[in-house]
Amino acid sequence: MRDKQSITLSDKARDRAIVSIRRYFDENMDEKIGDLKAALFLDYILVEHGPAIYNQAIADATRFIEEKAADLGAVGYQSEYPYWEASKRKAKP
């Protein structure tokens, strides 16, 4: 997966991101921007900052999976050959 393309978004997510960027500029900056500028800004964010965000998400997911896998032995443990032990407990008054 090395030399992978920059992070891409679905068309729907890209359109929503552009609307969000335009709104952010409208409400928080001193200038309004159009779809083209918002799209270029989004491309910059995806190429420049996207990998750092993606890598952190992968690290978080890896840590989560490793924690769950560490518990698997205890959570999923089953006693082996339990029949005779169970029958001994039943036989005692």
Taking only the tens place, the pLDDT of each residue in 68-77 is 888 888 778 8
At residue 1, the pLDDT reads: 47
Res. 62: pLDDT tops 90: yes
62's CB contacts (< 8 A; 6+ apart) are none
Taking only the tens place, the pLDDT of each residue in 2-15 is 566 678 999 999 99
Res. 39: pLDDT tops 90: yes
Provide the pLDDT confidence category of residue 21 given band limits of 50, 70 and 90: very high
